[in-house]
Amino acid sequence: MTPPTARIDIVRDTYFGTTVEDPYRWMEDWKGEELQAWVKAQAAYSRSILGTLPERDALATRIAQLNDASPILSYLQLAGGRAFYLRRDPGESVPKLIVRASMDASETILVDPNTLGNAVHTTIDWYSPSPDGCLVTFSTSQSGSEQSILQVIDVDTQTLYDLVIPGTIYNAVMWCDDGRSFTYHRLREPTTAAPETERYFDSCTYLHHLGDDPAHDRKVFGRDVNVGIEIAHADLPFIYSSPASDWIIGVLVHFDQLSLYAAPRSVLTHPTTTPWTKIADVTDGIVWFDIHGDQLYLRTHKDAPRFKIIRISLAEPDLRRAEVIVPEGRAVLQDFRVVGENVLTRSLDGGIWRLQRVHIGDPARSGDVETVPLPFNGTITGGASDPTTTTVLLHMTSWIVSPRVYRYDTVTGAIEDTGWLAPSPIDFSDIEAHELHVPSKDGTAVPLSLIHRKGIQHDGNNPTLLIAYGAYGLTIDPAFLPTMRVWYDRGGIYAVAHVRGGGEYGNTWHKAGQKRNKQNSIDDYIACAEYLIAQGYTRPEKLAGQGTSAGGIVIGGALVQRPDLWAAMIIRVGVTNTLRNEFTESGAVNVAEHGSVTDEEGFKALLSADAYLQVKDGVAYPAVLLTTGLNDPRVVLWQATKMTARLQAATSSGKPVLLRVEEHGGHGFGSTKGQDDAETADRVAFLLSQCGK
C-alpha cells in the first residue's frame, strides 16, 4: 500500500506583517467526511506496515505478559479509617475501585468498570470518598473521551444511587458535614451555537443533595454567582474544604495560576449574599494550599523559584504578614500536606525525591525539620492522608524498583510496607540507571537520565530512545516500566532529557522553556542527543526520539531543525501546529503556556515553535510515527493529520511517515490494557525496524 494523498488548499494568514501559508487548513474540519475518509485510509496504510514488521507479533505477546505480571495500584485515598484505590489485576482490561475497611483488612471491590456497559472501553476517571468513608462519588467515561459522568455508591451496601450527572470532567467534589451533600464542578451544557474553543467556558461549582434532581442543583461558585468576585469566561471555579476546618476555599484557576478566596461554610446556603474574602491573586504565585483549623498553608514561588510554604490565619488573612513555615531550599518543593501536627513536604533534589516532616503543633518544636528515611531512592508517585489521623500512605517506585505502598506514622516515625504490592517478578537486576548533566547550547546544565543493561559498550551501536516533555512545569520522574524490558533485551538504551519547560528546578526552569523561550527546550533536547552520540552510546542511525502531547512541540522542533540526528521519531498525540492550537476546544486554556496569536510576542512564540510550518520540501526526514485518538479532547485529531500529510509530501528519504489511529481512544487517559499493549508493540517494532540491531 501507499499512503493516501492529501489535498493541498493553501490558506494564507497575515499576522503583524508576517504571512503564513497553511496547505492543509481544510483538515481542521476534523469531523468532515473528507478528513474522516483520509484518516481511515491512513490508518489502514499504517496498519499494513506496522502489522507486518519483524518481531511485531512476538513483541506484542511478550509486552502483554510483562504488563500483566503484577497488579497496578493508583490513586490512593484515605477516609473514615478506610483506604481506597484503583487496582488493575492481571488479566483485566481496566482498573476497578477498591476499598479496605482498615489498613489490615482485605479488599472489597466497589466499582468494576469491566462489568459496566461497554466494558472494554469504560474507565473510572476519578473518585472521591466522603470524610466518613461511607459514600463515594466516582466518574466514568467511554473510549478515552474524558466525557465524565458522576455517580454515587454506598460503600457498606455497594448500592449505586439513582444519580447520573454529566460534564464532570474534573475531580472537584467537596463533601459537606452532613455526609449526604456535596459540591461538584460541571461544564455547561454544549450548544450548537457555541464554538468548540469555548467548551470549558463558564463552568460552575454546584451543590447536590442526595435524592434531589441534579437538574435543580444550585450554583454556589461561578461566574455571576458570588458577591464581589469577578470571574472570567475561561476561569475554572472550584471549592475546597477539609474535615479539619470550618472554612471553605474558593479557587479560581487561570490555567496555571490561582486566585484564592475564603468564606465560612454558610456560603453554601447563601452563595449569592455571603461575602468571600480574597486571600491571594495571581501575582502572589500560589500553586497549592491546605487548611488546618483556621490556618491556611500555601505553596508559592513568589520570591522563591524553588517554592516555599507560608501560613496565614483565615480569621485575619493578610499575606503581608504570612509566616514562612518551610523556606526555599536547594531542592524543589513539589508538594505538601498537613497531617495532624505536621506538614509533610515532598521535594525533588537532583533527581532524588525527599520526604520531610515539619513540626507545627508543639510550640517548643515548631519549625523543626526532619528528613524521613525512605526505603529506597526513587519517586514518591502518590500518597494519601486523612487530616483527622496521623497515618500517611506513600506510593513509591524507581527506574529499577517496582512500585510499593508504604504506611508512615507521623507520630512514631515508623514506615513499613503494607504488603499490598509484592515485588515484580520481572527481573531488573541486570538494569542500571544513571543521572547525568549535559551542557545545552547556552551552557545550561540539563539533567539526563540513562537506563540500560549493565556493561553496555560505548561503540555507538546501542539503539537509543530519547524522550522529553518540557511543559507546564511538569517533571518526568523515575518510574518502573516493565514493558521496557523488551527494549533492554535488544540492547536498547532508554534516555530521558529533563529539558527546560518542566519543573525539575522549579518555576525558573519552567519559565525558561515557555512561550518565546520554547527554543531552549528544543536546544536542550538536541544537546542531549549530541551528547549520547559524542560519548559513544549511540549514533544517528541508532537514535530515536519520542514526545507525548505538549512534548510533541519539542520532538517536532528537533525533527525539523536537525533531521540528520535521528533514525526515527515518534510523536504521540502531540502538538505540532502550535500557531493554530488555540483554535481548538482545549486551546484557549493553554494560551498561558504557549502564547496567543492575538499579540505580536505570542504570535512570534507560537510560530517559532510550530514544527508543521517549518517542514521543508525535499529534506531527508527520518522515519516518523504519529499517533492520535479519535476521541482526544486535549490535542485535536488534525494536529496529527496535518503534520502527517506535510511530512509525507515533503520528505525525500523514502522512510515511512505513519499515522497510527486509535478508533476507540483519546489522549491516553482511559486507555485499556489491550490498547496500551498494542501501541507499545507497534512503537517498539517501529523503532527496531529503523534503528535496531
Report long-range pairs for 595-599 (Cβ below 8 Å, ≥24 apart).
595/515, 595/516, 597/15
For 592: left if phi > 0, alpha if psi spans -120 to 50, otherwise beta; the answer is alpha
**Predicted local distance difference test score (pLDDT) of residue 340:** 87
CATH code, domain with 447: 3.40.50.1820
Report yes or no on 204 lying in a domain. Answer: no
* 662 touches 42 (CB < 8 A): no
In 107-213, the DSSP E strands lie at 107-111, 122-129, 135-142, 149-154, 165-166, 174-175, 181-186, 204-209
Q: Which of 5, 93, 43 is nearest to 682 (CA)?
A: 43
Report yes or no on 580 lying in a domain. Answer: yes
Report yes or no on 433 lying in a domain. Answer: yes
* 175 touches 131 (CB < 8 A): yes
In this prediction, residues 94-117 reach a mean pLDDT of 92
Report yes or no on 678 lying in a domain. Answer: yes
Report yes or no on 233 lying in a domain. Answer: no
Q: For residue 670, give every residue at least 6 positions away whose Cβ sits within 8 Å of its Cβ, in sequence order, or none.
A: 94, 121, 123, 125, 141, 143, 144, 145, 146
Rounded distance between C-alpha atoms, residue 107 and residue 84, angstroms: 9
pLDDT in tens, 293-349: 999 999 999 999 999 999 999 999 999 999 999 999 999 999 999 998 899 999 998
Residues 484-521 as b/e (b if ≥16 CB within 10 A, e otherwise) read: bbbbbebbbbbbbbbbbbbbbbbbebbbbbbbeebbbb
Report yes or no on 352 lying in a domain. Answer: no
Q: Phi and psi at residue 526, in whole multiples of 5°?
A: -65, -40
Rounded distance between C-alpha atoms, residue 407 and residue 393, angstroms: 5
Q: Which of 142, 157, 172 is the last residue of a domain?
A: 157
Rounded distance between C-alpha atoms, residue 524 and residue 558, angstroms: 10
Q: CA torsion sign, 164 to 146 to 121 to 124? A: negative
Domain residue limits at 136: 70-157
Q: Which of 157, 178, 199 is the last residue of a domain?
A: 157
Rounded distance between C-alpha atoms, residue 117 and residue 165, angstroms: 17
Per the structure, how many domains does the chain have? 2
Rounded distance between C-alpha atoms, residue 396 and residue 139, angstroms: 26
Residue 693, pLDDT > 70, answer: no
* 115 touches 97 (CB < 8 A): no
pLDDT in tens, 250-273: 999 998 899 999 999 888 888 888
pLDDT in tens, 631-652: 999 999 999 999 999 999 999 9
pLDDT in tens, 12-58: 999 999 999 999 999 999 999 999 999 999 999 999 999 999 999 99
DSSP assignment letter at 188: P
Q: CA torsion sign, 428 to 429 to 431 to 432? A: positive
Q: Which three cell numbers stand for residue 577?
A: 501546529
Q: Which of 106, 122, 157 is the last residue of a domain?
A: 157
pLDDT in tens, 156-180: 999 999 999 999 999 999 999 899 9
Q: Which three cell numbers stand for residue 473?
A: 512545569
Q: Which three cell numbers stand for residue 136?
A: 463515594
Report yes or no on 113 lying in a domain. Answer: yes
Q: Which of 543, 549, 562 is nearest to 667 (CA)?
A: 549
Q: Which three cell numbers stand for residue 486?
A: 523488551
Q: Which of 38, 52, 1 is nearest to 682 (CA)?
A: 52
Q: Phi and psi at residue 295, in whole multiples of 5°?
A: -100, 130
Burial tier of 361 (Cβ tally within 10 Å: 0-12, 13-18, 19+): exposed
Using only C-alpha atoms, the chain has a radius of gyration, in whole angstroms, of 25
Q: What is the largest CA-CA distance in the chain?
A: 76
In 332-444, the DSSP E strands lie at 332-339, 342-349, 352-359, 369-371, 379-385, 391-397, 404-409, 415-417, 431-439
- Which H helix or E strand runs over 568? strand 568-572
| Residue 86 DSSP SS3 | strand
Rounded distance between C-alpha atoms, residue 145 and residue 440, angstroms: 38
Report percent pLDDT > 90 for the chain. 87
Report yes or no on 213 lying in a domain. Answer: no
* 372 touches 57 (CB < 8 A): no
**Predicted local distance difference test score (pLDDT) of residue 685:** 98
**Predicted local distance difference test score (pLDDT) of residue 226:** 86
5 — pLDDT class (breaks 50, 70, 90): very high
In this prediction, residues 367-378 reach a mean pLDDT of 90
Mean pLDDT of the chain: 95
Strands 122-129 and 247-254: what pairing?
A: unpaired
Q: Which of 298, 273, 303, 268 is nearest to 286 (CA)?
A: 298
For the chain, helix, strand, coil in percent to 5 are 25, 35, 45
